[in-house]
Structure 1
Amino acid sequence: MAIVIYTVLKEFFVEIHGHAVKARILSPVHDANTFTFQISLFFKSKSAADANEPASTFTSYATAERHLLSYLEDFQNTLDLGGEVAQGSNF
């Protein structure tokens, strides 16, 4: 298994319903055209047994940032409607 080293391009710190959520936009050191994001907590809706964990890569920073902000908004909306918080990435 190859080791991938990432560069953290931007970090966000938000509070959603009293839960501190940390998020990062990352890019592999060897590939400046690939971006992903990582979240410290995930959300579960009332109808889903599993947490909604984002697992996508993007070819532009702007697209990754837009998807991250959309995920955070969905997180807020899900908790507003009675969803739950699940543990996410430890970083």
Structure 2
Amino acid sequence: MAAIIYTVIKEFFVEIHGYPVKARILSPINDDKTFTFQVSSHFKNTSGQEANVPASTFTSYANAERHLLGYLEAFQNTLDLGGEVAPGNAF
């Protein structure tokens, strides 16, 4: 598989229930129509066994940012309702 080099467009640092979470919006270099986001910590909800890992690609920066902020809100809501941070996750 060929390597894809990304540029970091924006970085967020937030604290959710005492967990420091770093989040990034990225785009492949030389491609202004593909955006993705990644976070340094993921969460597990009480009904699922696997970490909720974002893996979507977006066609605009605004959509990527909106989905990232929605993901961070879901992260906090899940911890509010008794979920947990999935161990061992990082960029």
Q: What is the TM-score normalised by the length of structure 1?
A: 0.95
SS of aligned partner of 1:82: coil
Alignment of 1:57-68 (within 5 A): 57-68=57-68
Provide the rounded CA distance (Å) in 1 between the counterparts of 2:27 and 2:89. Answer: 19
Provide the rounded CA distance (Å) in 2 between the counterparts of 1:9 and 1:89. Answer: 18
Tell me what 1:56 maps to.
56
- Displacement of 1:47 after TM fit? 1.1
Tell me what 2:89 maps to.
88
Identity of aligned residues (%): 72
Tell me what 2:35 maps to.
35
Structure 1 unaligned segments of length 5 or more: list them: none
- Displacement of 1:71 after TM fit? 0.1
The number of residues matched between the two structures is 90
Provide the rounded CA distance (Å) in 1 between the counterparts of 2:34 and 2:90. Answer: 20
Over aligned residue pairs, what C-alpha RMSD do you find? 0.8
Q: What is the TM-score normalised by the length of structure 2?
A: 0.95
